[in-house]
Amino acid sequence: MAQQPNLILDVSSAEYSGEYKDKNQRWQRRAYELAVDNINALVEESRSIIAQTQGKLDKTLPRIHDAIFISGSRGTGKTVFLYNLEQEWQHTGGLNNKDRVTFLNIIDPTLLVSHDNFVNVVIAHIHNYVHQKITKLEDKQTYQKLLGRLAESLGQTEYNNREVSGLDRIISYQSSMDLEKNFHLYLEHCCACLNIDVFVLPVDDVDMALGKAHDVLETIRRLLSCPRLIPIVCGDENIYHQVLRDYFAYSGNEGYEHRKPLAGSTYAEHLSMQYWRKVFPEHLRVGLVDVEFLIPDIEITGIGEQKLTPGAFFKAVNSLTSPLVNGLENSHPLKEPDTSRKLVQFAKNFAVYVNPDKKSAAIANFWSDYVRYAESSRFAQGYLLADAEIKVKAGIERLSELALFNVELQSKLGRHKQGFKKLDYFGQLQKEFKLLLNYDDYQAGREVAKWQEGQLDALSSRQDSLANTLIAMPAIEVFRESYIISQASIDDMERNLEEQQAKRNAYLLLDLFTHSDFYGTSAYKAKQIFFGKAFEVFALSLLSDSTGQTVSGSWIKKVLNGKPLNSIHFVAPTKTFDFPDEDTATSGEEGADEVTNDEMALSYSSDHQGFAEAISAWQQQYQSELASARNAGLCHLLSFVFNKVFNQLVQMRVNNVFRKKAGKPDNLFHIAKRFEFVLLTSIGAFLKDKGDVALQNTATTSNNEFLMTPQGKASDRAYKLNVTDFIHDTSNSYGDLMMAICEHPLFKLTDVYLPDMKETLTVGGKLDDSTKPPRRRGRRKTFVSSENIDDNKQPLSSSNIRDFIRGITTSRELVAALNSYPKGLLMHLTKGQLAGSFDNDYREMADYLRNLIKIISKEENLKKSERDRFERLQDWFIDFGRKAGS
């Protein structure tokens, strides 16, 4: 059996012209064959009936149910089918005297809106065609006479609907009975004048006017069942059935607007099916094939010299919408057409961008065309992407200007853009937020629970703004009480970090990875750890090009002084959060050495200008790779990376990764390094197009020091596959871009890290009562002085020892406490306190620690937490001794 030629979609031809030059442009081959066969059969049947009733115009002609129904859902091409049906019939053999069959123009379904009765539309339609073609005077006179009778019958029928009685009602009933006869006589005369046997009347999509659908079917059943007329009706069968079921269930109600069921649903369903079979006999129904079954045979032409399959065409368009992603995790989400109409419109809309001869001249308009397609298709991912690319090219200052990265903007769009599918983002937030409340470090006391509930209350107050998103978004970063950088650790860094470049980088890391610009009911400002600022700086440096411009750090300052993207402070920026008043230690760690000061600076003296210059130099160095990526479109890649990165970071927060190992929490350099791992691994996962890709999380190890070494990257499977192997594999399309991204100045801030900095800017700790403002309940703690120890007048509890140690400010007090409470010093002495008491004299601090270590070493049965602290004291001693010797 010879293979049929492909179906043609010529983007240069008119969709409804009815003059397709190539027969293969008519896709519904089998449907055309069935429709033509049905028309031929009905024409022969009509001729036979006409021959039998010749000369009997004074009698009603036999009624035959000969309506052909073209069935198809919305967009399957029913209108195009009707437009081309006459041409297909004309070019098909098997019927003699084809000129004795006349196809009338398609009835416009919008006319039904303007008329009360479909009969009027049909008669007017036939009259408009026939009266201009009658040439003989006697034929015209007879025509007018028959048309007048028909009009009178029609008028009396409509009059019958009014409140009349007596003789007028009887006359109106008689006229109604004459309507069918007069219509048949009228058609008989029309055919005689035109010397034809039969009219073919196409009626298009009458199901669009739902209120008239049953009237149309009634007109076909009662009036158009005539040998001289073959109706061809197209529509959605499912819609018709729904209309009929509704009619039979409720039509007996007076006025029909009182919705009281008069028939059971089963009986109404039975009546609708029987009625449907009578009006449209089963052998005269023709179904159109859905586009999904046609696509394998379709060939798209009219795009230069190319002939593309729909799949190849979609791929070409997809290369423009998502050029830098490999399809992992559904990152190629092109909304492919699901009906014939949409396929034709899609091909015509984007043909110019697939045509190599026209693409370069047209590409500037791609995103504006794509945003219209995505909006009309209710394709949220495409709409947000196109909107983002348009705004990026116009110029943005913050990533939050793009709804692609902003939950609140998406929620607002969802309220104004009807038809887009919405996701319950607020419900997702509540579930994921509560995961944080199930861990031990949130069960320490009611004050902590209240403070966490305060964040939930803040989210609840923003429910309308955060109700829904148009696409899946990651959970926001919420505050965890232990995830802070204390002022004491910052002060310690300022005093003890001698390497100036490391200190400058530490300040930048504080600006990039912490946030303190918020209100608390206790007037605290803690430097909380968030990743939104670092991600935004990175993304903006990729999206915008500052090469060739005057270098300015203003855009970086604007990001760093703002709210962290995708954080609790970003979505609830004006809310007050209630901090715990109690001096609560972090769960799993006794006597952590960090304290928090309530006077927290809003910004640091970090080198923003130098960082901006470094980014500008980086952009200049990799100008070719970055410019190529910007021209292709980076927003799609960044949006998927954004989701992947923050989903992992939030999960790491839930799993307490940054505080996982007791006594050895991360410091801010570890935090930045984990972010580097997560970000680069996520980019590689989507950007890499050759070789294996790792999907698992990265940088979750508790060995934070090993993470900072070159071996850390080599031993992390996800990083090795997605980044290292990617860069070294020259067959990958974007290896150079990945290498450029890895050299971003953000990731160079940790290069100065040395092992002796492991206690610099550490994460977590306890609140310091010596720096707390007065309690809201009016109570202040009374600190124990050194005199109490010397006189030994007051027995001290463990909490009083802790308070006493924290109250020490001079070396005299510290020395006085050495012999009395060595274990108290072991557990509660901070490095910053030690340095402050001895004015940063490393030799004196080393001598003091030597004595403390000597005393503690005599203690037996130390707890694990005490052993860990003892090891830390030894590290301090070695460090101070080295510094004193230098």
DSSP bridge partners of 301: 10
**Cβ–Cβ under 8 Å, residues 411 and 466:** yes
Q: What is the DSSP letter of 63?
A: P
Assigned domain for 2 exists: no
842 Cα distance to chain centroid: 57
Assigned domain for 662 exists: yes
Of 303-312, 625-634, 695-704, 802-811, give the range with the top mean pLDDT.
625-634
Q: Would you place residue 718 in the very low, low, confident or very high pLDDT band (cuts 50, 70, 90)?
A: very high
DSSP bridge partners of 231: 201
**Cβ–Cβ under 8 Å, residues 32 and 289:** no
Predicted local confidence at residue 790, as pLDDT: 41
For residue 203, pLDDT beyond 80: yes
Q: What does the pLDDT average to over 572-582?
A: 54
Of 133-142, 235-244, 260-269, 431-440, give the range with the top mean pLDDT.
133-142
For residue 597, pLDDT beyond 70: no
- The angle, 0 to 180 degrees and rounded to 10, between the axes of the packed helices 118-130 and 167-194 is 30
- And the tokens for 23? 């027969």
Residues whose CB falls within 8 Å of the CB of residue 401, separated by 6 or more in sequence, listed in order: 391
Same domain, 90 and 176: yes
Q: Can you tell me the distance from the alpha carbon of 351 to that of 358, in angstroms, rounded to the nearest whole number?
A: 9
Same domain, 334 and 462: no
Q: Would you place residue 283 in the very low, low, confident or very high pLDDT band (cuts 50, 70, 90)?
A: confident
Q: Can you tell me the distance from the alpha carbon of 674 to that of 631, in angstroms, rounded to the nearest whole number?
A: 30
Same domain, 476 and 518: yes
Same domain, 254 and 329: no
Q: What is the DSSP letter of 603?
A: S
Phi, psi of 310, deg, nearest 5 = -55, -40
- The angle, 0 to 180 degrees and rounded to 10, between the axes of the packed helices 623-632 and 735-742 is 110
Assigned domain for 411 exists: no
Q: Would you place residue 442 in the very low, low, confident or very high pLDDT band (cuts 50, 70, 90)?
A: very low
Predicted local confidence at residue 818, as pLDDT: 82
Q: Can you tell me the distance from the alpha carbon of 424 to that of 402, in angstroms, rounded to the nearest whole number?
A: 20
DSSP bridge partners of 71: 235, 287
Predicted local confidence at residue 678, as pLDDT: 97
**Cβ–Cβ under 8 Å, residues 737 and 637:** no
Counting residues of the chain whose pLDDT is more than 70, the rounded percentage is 78
Q: Which of 757, 785, 815 is the last residue of a domain?
A: 757
Sign of CA dihedral 597, 601, 602, 606: negative
Q: Can you tell me the distance from the alpha carbon of 819 to that of 831, in angstroms, rounded to the nearest whole number?
A: 19
The identity of residue 431, as a single letter, is K
Sign of CA dihedral 804, 809, 812, 818: positive
Q: Can you tell me the distance from the alpha carbon of 134 to that of 5, in angstroms, rounded to the nearest whole number?
A: 44
Closest CA to 313 of 357, 344, 290, 288: 344
Phi, psi of 307, deg, nearest 5 = -130, 110
Assigned domain for 823 exists: yes
Residue 421 vs residue 167, higher pLDDT:
421
For residue 536, pLDDT beyond 90: yes
Q: Can you tell me the distance from the alpha carbon of 423 to that of 728, in angstroms, rounded to the nearest whole number?
A: 40
For residue 777, pLDDT beyond 50: no
Q: Which of 729, 757, 785 is the last residue of a domain?
A: 757
Closest CA to 735 of 583, 613, 574, 622: 622
Predicted local confidence at residue 325, as pLDDT: 93
Same domain, 55 and 180: yes
Q: Can you tell me the distance from the alpha carbon of 528 to that of 623, in angstroms, rounded to the nearest whole number?
A: 35
Predicted local confidence at residue 735, as pLDDT: 93
- The angle, 0 to 180 degrees and rounded to 10, between the axes of the packed helices 500-513 and 668-687 is 70
Element (H, E) at 308: strand 306-308
Q: Can you tell me the distance from the alpha carbon of 103 to that of 202, in angstroms, rounded to the nearest whole number?
A: 8
Q: Would you place residue 591 in the very low, low, confident or very high pLDDT band (cuts 50, 70, 90)?
A: very low
Same domain, 259 and 303: no
112 Cα distance to chain centroid: 40
Predicted local confidence at residue 792, as pLDDT: 40
Element (H, E) at 754: none
730 Cα distance to chain centroid: 33
Q: What is the DSSP letter of 211?
A: G
Closest CA to 718 of 774, 667, 676: 676
Buried b or exposed e, range 174-185, using 16+ CB within 10 angstroms: ebbebbbbbbbb
Same domain, 824 and 729: no
User: How many domains in the chain?
Assistant: 4
Q: pLDDT tens for residues 602-618?
A: 345 578 888 999 999 99
Return the minimum-mean-pLDDT range out of 696-710, 755-769, 830-844. Answer: 755-769
The identity of residue 527, as a single letter, is K
Sequence-separated contacts (24+) of 444-449 with Cβ below 8 Å: 444/584, 444/587, 445/580, 445/582, 445/584, 447/580, 447/581, 447/582, 447/584, 448/481, 448/580, 448/584
Tell me the residue range of the domain where 825 lies. 796-885
Q: What is the DSSP letter of 722?
A: I
Assigned domain for 385 exists: no
Q: Would you place residue 263 in the very low, low, confident or very high pLDDT band (cuts 50, 70, 90)?
A: low
Same domain, 273 and 323: no
Assigned domain for 776 exists: no
Work out the number of other CB atoms within 10 angstroms of the CB of residue 148: 12
Same domain, 745 and 823: no
Closest CA to 818 of 783, 779, 844: 844
Q: pLDDT tens for residues 50-95?
A: 777 665 555 545 666 678 888 887 777 788 888 888 888 888 766 7
Same domain, 653 and 591: yes
- The angle, 0 to 180 degrees and rounded to 10, between the axes of the packed helices 237-250 and 265-279 is 130
Predicted local confidence at residue 518, as pLDDT: 61
Q: pLDDT tens for residues 133-153?
A: 887 888 888 888 888 888 877
Predicted local confidence at residue 135, as pLDDT: 78
Residue 205 vs residue 336, higher pLDDT:
336
Assigned domain for 67 exists: yes
Q: Give the CA count within 13 Å in the CB-facing half-sphere of 884.
A: 16
Predicted local confidence at residue 646, as pLDDT: 94
Return the minimum-mean-pLDDT range out of 357-371, 399-413, 490-504, 806-820. Answer: 806-820
Predicted local confidence at residue 441, as pLDDT: 43
Predicted local confidence at residue 314, as pLDDT: 92
- Give the N- to C-terminal CA distance of the chain in Å, as an integer: 94
Q: What is the DSSP string of 91-123?
A: T--S-S-GGGEEEPPPBPTTHHHH-S-HHHHHH
Q: Can you tell me the distance from the alpha carbon of 581 to that of 522, in angstroms, rounded to the nearest whole number?
A: 7
Residue 113 vs residue 252, higher pLDDT:
113
Predicted local confidence at residue 794, as pLDDT: 43
Same domain, 492 and 612: yes
Return the minimum-mean-pLDDT range out of 19-23, 256-260, 580-584, 646-650. Answer: 580-584
Q: What is the DSSP letter of 510?
A: H
Q: Can you tell me the distance from the alpha carbon of 151 to that of 183, in angstroms, rounded to the nearest whole number?
A: 9
For residue 769, pLDDT beyond 90: no
Q: What is the DSSP letter of 477?
A: B
Assigned domain for 367 exists: yes
Q: pLDDT tens for residues 443-467?
A: 444 444 555 677 777 888 888 888 8
**Cβ–Cβ under 8 Å, residues 31 and 286:** yes
For residue 628, pLDDT beyond 50: yes
Same domain, 170 and 224: yes
Predicted local confidence at residue 547, as pLDDT: 63
Phi, psi of 286, deg, nearest 5 = -125, 120
Work out the number of other CB atoms within 10 angstroms of the CB of residue 255: 5
Helices (H), 473-607: 487-496, 500-513, 532-543, 554-560, 568-571
Q: Can you tell me the distance from the alpha carbon of 374 to that of 380, in angstroms, rounded to the nearest whole number?
A: 7
Residue 249 vs residue 567, higher pLDDT:
567
Q: Can you tell me the distance from the alpha carbon of 680 to that of 726, in angstroms, rounded to the nearest whole number?
A: 11
- The position carrying tokens 């803690």 is 526
Closest CA to 473 of 530, 432, 416, 415: 432
Q: Would you place residue 223 in the very low, low, confident or very high pLDDT band (cuts 50, 70, 90)?
A: confident
- And the tokens for 730? 């020259």
Q: Which of 343, 358, 377 is the last residue of a domain?
A: 377
Is the pTM higher than 0.75? The answer reads no
Q: Can you tell me the distance from the alpha carbon of 517 to that of 513, in angstroms, rounded to the nearest whole number?
A: 13
For 190-290, where are the E strands, in sequence order?
A: 198-203, 229-235, 285-287
- The position carrying tokens 């073959």 is 230
**Cβ–Cβ under 8 Å, residues 216 and 243:** no
Q: Kindly compute the dihedral angle of the four CA atoms of residues 503, 506, 508, 510, in this order, to the nearest 10 degrees.
A: -140
Element (H, E) at 520: strand 519-520
Return the minimum-mean-pLDDT range out of 596-605, 628-637, 686-695, 816-825. Answer: 596-605
* SS3 (DSSP) at 227: coil
* SS3 (DSSP) at 9: strand
Predicted local confidence at residue 582, as pLDDT: 34
